[in-house]
Homo-oligomer: A and B are copies of this chain.
């Protein structure tokens, strides 16, 4: 934004308000702020006489609104100090007299500065544009239609401030009732450029002046040629300007690289005793195959699991990168002092008994010690973490060794265990599983930054219940997601549903809608549930990035074709309109009563060659970007025959350099389970007994590819 706003004018207004100890601006001040940032407001002037009022009204144009201006009259309407729809010079003159008389009758001592003569806008669609200070994301800007649409239907959308022109336009197009602004019932389309300009300017205003805790332009009236903020309401709060502590990208990477790829790990509270956490951690480190140094720390042991033990980490001869804490909470602070003195990069705090049990004081004390020594803390209250490229299982859970490119994190231990079990059951290739627990220090932002630079990681999936610094996360995610898909399961999304109806931006910003919009703005794929997050994580890395929006369904079961089409609509996928020549080409391979078009229904009784030929055609035609297969179990083409032919034809095209996403839904007797597994193991995302899951995974891949700017348009 290189625009030349009059920041000094705003500062002057704020200084005056601050001088008077006010936490809100007057209407006139609000107008000055709008003027300074080029936000149109109704023309107005302060008249001190009937004659002036009439002159101003004639200059502004009828009709006008008249409002009493008096520092002693706050509730103008109650005082009879507002008259709308004054349409002639006579009405304005009489109105001036009436208002002044009413004001004097209301408060004989009131100082009357005059009567404000304001342009009365008589047409246009009401919208609301606002900005507020979100506890998670900081400055956010809001857009919605005015009136009941925003109050009752909560049809409002949010972005981080400041916004770009494209983002502002995406807000206007992103509300459910967007069609209204495009013109319905023959109305002219609203001036989207004018609206997006106001959105941008409001977002810049609160960015430049973070002490503006809330700005409400409500309503803004938009016509085919312009938009005007009719009412302006601005709140001030110095606390809204506070920026959270942040580490630089370099600082994060310096610590995280040592933590995730340590040359030496100490286990504080290592134990030889079965069932102790300090024993489980030692076993997992040793049996997991970690090849760096492992130093058990235990004041009472000389050797644990054939490793020399040390009374204190201070006694360890070499450098130590990571210290895993397997001791009760009350001993952590003292041990952390020693760990810090040793120059350890990361303290992995497995123990619970901190913030989550109400002992925030202890957690703060431990964090202060860590900061003093430059140690980063993972946890407390976690199961630990895995980093498979280093065979590192720094956890009290069971080891995991299926290497792959999926990194997963969880805020909850229970969800971490579900990640572990699912991964093992699905043989999902994993680079890392990390518990973040109470997030006293290291959070998703730090992990994203590490995984971004980590060649072993191709996708990041995160379970989270909150974000310590949502703005930092959003900015990092926006950067990372252009390179690697990020899947987020945001739990607690319905907690804020009960907020009362209100059209103030602050009240509209119910947690979840803000999360939803800003995660999308950041290119994050939001998973609707735990199982979806796990399936997306498993499937997305296997699918090549599609080159465009054209999806084709090839199905042996017409019934599956219908359900797969439903699923495409549900997941925002575009069924390609098959061009005539391609339609003819498909028809060559299918029975005369089969249906080309899309879905391509090859019918149920077909031999393997029909599946093969139609799939090969879909892969070879450059206009087709993705395939969804619907298989129907028959004697003619049994499940494993289908699976093998699909893998053969997909691999044949891969060998030619043609990579397209292929997913499959298998309907049949239990042999389809083995066939689905075989397909999955060979890069075709396949499921039995469901038409929804394969399409959901493909849809998630598309959501990422679109946000990352990797797709061409639909033909």
Q: Please give the residue numbers on chain A whose beta carbons come within 8 Å of chain B beta carbons, in ascending order.
A: 148-149, 151-153, 176-177, 179-180, 184-185, 275, 352-353, 356-358, 397-398, 410-415, 417-418, 420-422, 424-425, 463, 465, 489, 491-495, 497, 501, 528-532, 534, 555-560, 562-563, 565-567, 569-570, 593, 604-605, 630, 632-633, 635, 667-673, 688-693
Q: Give which listed residue, B358, B415, B531, B668, contacts A560 with CB less than 8 A.
A: B415
B185 touches A151 (CB 8 A): yes
Contact status B669-A398, CB under 8 Å: yes
Contacts A420-B669, A529-B691, A531-B691 known; 11 new A-B pairs at CB < 8 A: A413-B557, A414-B557, A414-B560, A414-B632, A417-B557, A417-B669, A421-B671, A489-B563, A491-B562, A492-B565, A530-B689
Please give me the residue from chain B that is nearest to A176 by CB atom: B153
Instruction: Say whether A425 contacts B673, CB under 8 Å.
Output: yes
How far is it, in angstroms, between the C-alpha of A484 and the C-alpha of B517 when the chains are bound? Answer: 42
Are B421 and A633 within 8 A (Cβ)? yes
A and B contact pairs by CB, cutoff 8 A, 14 listed: A152-B184, A153-B153, A179-B501, A352-B605, A398-B669, A410-B559, A413-B559, A414-B558, A414-B560, A418-B688, A421-B671, A425-B673, A491-B563, A529-B563
Question: Do the beta carbons of B465 and A570 come within 8 Å of each other?
Answer: no
Mostly, the A contact residues are: mixed
Contacts of A557 in B (CB 8 A): 412-415, 417
Question: Given A152-B179, A425-B673: A530 and B633 within 8 A (CB)?
Answer: no
A225 to B417, CA, bound (A): 59
Nearest B-chain residue to A668, judged by Cβ: B417
Given contacts A424-B669, A562-B492, contact A414 B529 (CB under 8 A): no
- Contact partner of A669 (CB less than 8 A), chosen from B397, B493, B671, is B397
Q: Which residue of B lies closest to A396 (CB)?
A: B635
Give chain B residues whose Cβ lies under 8 Å from the Cβ of A635: 275
Task: List chain B residues, Cβ under 8 A from A555.
Answer: 414
Judge whether B494 and A421 touch: CB under 8 Å. no
Closest Cβ of chain B to A499, distance in Å, is 13
**What CA separation (Å) do A179 and B500 show in the bound complex?**
12
Closest to A147 in B: B185
Complex contact A184–B501 (CB within 8 A): yes
Q: Which residues of B contact A669 (CB under 8 A)?
A: 397-398, 417, 420-421, 424
Which residues of B are found within 8 Å of A497, using beta-carbon distances? 569
Residues of B within 8 A of A357 (CB): 593
User: Is there contact, CB below 8 Å, between A559 and B690?
Assistant: no
Q: Once the chains bind, are A565 and B413 in contact (CB under 8 Å)?
A: no
Question: Do residues B494 and A569 form an inter-chain contact, with CB atoms below 8 A?
Answer: yes
Q: A382 to chain B: closest CB distance in Å?
A: 11
Q: How far is the CB of A417 from chain B (nearest CB, A)?
A: 5
Q: Which residues of B contact A489 (CB under 8 A)?
A: 563
Copies in the complex: 2
A463 partner residues in chain B, CB cutoff 8 A: 559
Indicate if the CB atoms of A413 and B604 lie closer than 8 Å.
yes
Contacting pair B414 A689 (CB below 8 A): no
Which residues of B lie under 8 Å from residue A421 when comparing CB positions?
633, 667-673, 688-689
Given contacts A357-B593, A494-B565, A566-B493, contact A692 B529 (CB under 8 A): yes
Q: How far is the CA of A562 from the CA of B495 in the complex (A)?
A: 9
Given contacts A494-B566, A497-B569, contact A415 B693 (CB under 8 A): no
Contact between B531 and A690, CB atoms less than 8 A apart = yes
Q: How far is the CB of A146 from chain B (nearest CB, A)?
A: 12
Q: A421-B670, A669-B421 are in contact. Are A414 and B556 (CB under 8 A)?
A: yes
A494-B570 in contact (CB<8A):
yes
CB of A687 to closest CB in B, whole Å: 8
CB-defined contacts of A177 to chain B, threshold 8 Å: 148, 152-153
Q: Identify which of B495, B556, B559, B633 contacts A491 (C-beta below 8 A).
A: B559
Residues on B with beta carbons closer than 8 Å to the beta carbon of A633: 417, 421
- Cross-chain contact A425 with B689 (CB below 8 angstroms): yes
What's the least CB distance linking A149 to chain B, in Å?
A: 8
Question: Hey, which chain B residues are within 8 Å of A559, CB to CB?
Answer: 410-415, 463, 465, 491
Query: Do A689 and B529 touch across chains, with their CB atoms under 8 A apart?
Result: no
B residues in contact with A275, CB < 8 Å: 635
A566 contacts B412, C-beta separation under 8 Å? no
CB-defined contacts of A670 to chain B, threshold 8 Å: 421, 424-425
- The answer to whether B556 and A689 have CB atoms under 8 Å apart is no
Give the complex CA separation of A425 and B633 in angstroms.
Answer: 15
Partner of A412, one of B176, B358, B424, B558: B558
A530 touches B148 (CB 8 A): no
A632 to chain B, nearest CB (A): 4
Minimal beta-carbon separation of A427 from chain B (angstroms): 11
Q: Taking each of A275, A411, A425, which has the highest tally of chain B beta carbons within 10 Å of its own beta carbon?
A: A425
- Kindly list chain B residues whose C-beta atoms are within 8 Å of the C-beta of A414: 555-560, 604, 630, 632, 667
A97 to chain B, nearest CB (A): 26
Q: Which residues of B contact A593 (CB under 8 A)?
A: 353, 356-358
Given contacts A421-B668, A673-B425, contact A492 B566 (CB under 8 A): yes
Residue of B nearest to A562 (CB): B491
State whether B148 touches A562 (Cβ < 8 A): no
Q: Chain B nearest CB: distance from A406 CB in Å? A: 15
